[in-house]
Amino acid sequence: MTDYHIEIEFQQNRPKGEVVCGDVFYTRRIREEGRTILVLSDGIGHGVKANVLATLTASMALNYSSFHTKPEVAANIFMRALPKSADGKENYATFTIIEMEDEGLVRIINYDNPTVLIFRNGKQYFPREVETSIRGKENEGKILRIRQFTPQKEDRIIFMTDGVDQSGLGTKKYPMGWGLENIAYFIESQLEREPNMSAGKLVRKIVSKAGLNDDFEVKDDTSCGSVYFREPREFMLITGPPFYKIKDNDFVQRIQDFKGKKIICGGTTAEIIARELDLEVHIQHRYHTEGIPPAAEMFGFDMVTEGILTLGRVEEILESYNSETRLGETPPEEVVKLLLKHDYIHIIVGTRINWAHHDPDQPVELEIRKFVIKRIVKLLEEQFFKRVLVEYV
């Protein structure tokens, strides 16, 4: 296994007046194979028509990549599947596929999108590129550009649609558009100023600059994604006391030995840890929100919250989370912030039942904390690409 975390971020902007974006970005994590697949597709034109073409292309590209279909064969299949225009002209969508393996191999397949930029040690990196013709007579002259390399810690991948590199087209400063050379220089200068810049911050800067090139009224769908291979951040969430009371001391020692940030979700759990470590718990009423008990502070822990109600709300926030979500300061939102800031998440689940929440009228998955945790883990792994280790005690 690699010793880095893969941070992935994506942002897009659409022209004024358009209801939907004509660029589509899909991701899939295949845990059993240790693979992560990213697909960005740009449909011809704008609006709904472009979105339909891009959606068809991106979904098929994602599925065929998942099945290990040769890219030149897969491209032929989904290009033939795209509907023709009423005038008989060919419809098409460009695409970029990025396949990343946990064992440390990256493959980039690009068709008609701007060249994917790769950076190593803050400078542009150029792995060998191979050109492959797409199968089928009707695809004569259509080329896939494929690159493969083994990433190192601090490497970055930037992928985009032509709304980024053609931004500013026709302006005095960029008569031919912003262009890949200028984009690469812009990224290098940003990384020189802030080498550890997050993937999210970098991609926001690129999309913002593209918008600035067009006086903040983009002429084309503008999408950009960033992959950052970096040092992982570790985090521990503890919820519920251990099944056997005799194990309380071992339980607390396991937590105390953990070097990363850690929080406690559960009043009984906090009381056990405070007792074993001779600590005090201080309630912080500023965190109070309707329906959720206030959070608390305890030395050595970033946060202490109530258990099952807070975790249930955490699951709801994660399920509806998107790039537009703005998190406040309620206990569940603070927990979500910490989860999203970290990469390797250790969750210790005590299996002693808290009879205060044992209500036979409630669904089982809300009644017992481990079912709530299972849903949270699934969201963290599949939507946020976190590595999660759950330990039941």
Q: Are residues 344 and 224 in the same domain?
A: no
What's the rounded Cα separation, in Å, for the pair 24 and 2?
29
Q: Are residues 76 and 114 in the same domain?
A: yes
Q: Are residues 124 and 241 in the same domain?
A: no
pLDDT in tens, 354-364: 555 555 544 44
pLDDT along the chain (393 residues), means of 10: 84 89 93 92 88 93 94 88 66 90 93 96 95 86 94 96 94 94 97 93 95 90 95 92 82 88 90 89 67 85 90 93 84 92 92 57 52 92 89 87
What's the rounded Cα separation, in Å, for the pair 174 and 166?
9
Give the model's pLDDT for residue 361.
45
Q: Are residues 29 and 144 in the same domain?
A: yes
Q: Are residues 240 and 222 in the same domain?
A: no
pLDDT in tens, 231-280: 889 999 999 888 778 878 888 888 988 988 999 998 888 988 998 898 88
Place of tokens 């537009």: 324
Q: Are residues 168 and 257 in the same domain?
A: no
Give the model's pLDDT for residue 362.
43
Give the model's pLDDT for residue 131.
93
Give the model's pLDDT for residue 249.
86
Give the model's pLDDT for residue 364.
46
pTM above 0.85, yes or no: no
Q: Are residues 162 and 276 in the same domain?
A: no
What's the rounded Cα separation, in Å, for the pair 27 and 250?
40
Give the model's pLDDT for residue 21.
92
Give the model's pLDDT for residue 90.
63
Number of domains in the chain: 2
Range of the domain at 279: 234-392
Provide the token pair at 35.
């693979």
Which domain CATH number covers 24?
A: 3.60.40.10
Which residue, of 230, 251, 268, is where some domain finishes?
A: 230
Give the model's pLDDT for residue 293.
81
What is the four-CA torsion angle of 366, 367, 368, 374, rounded to 10 degrees? -10
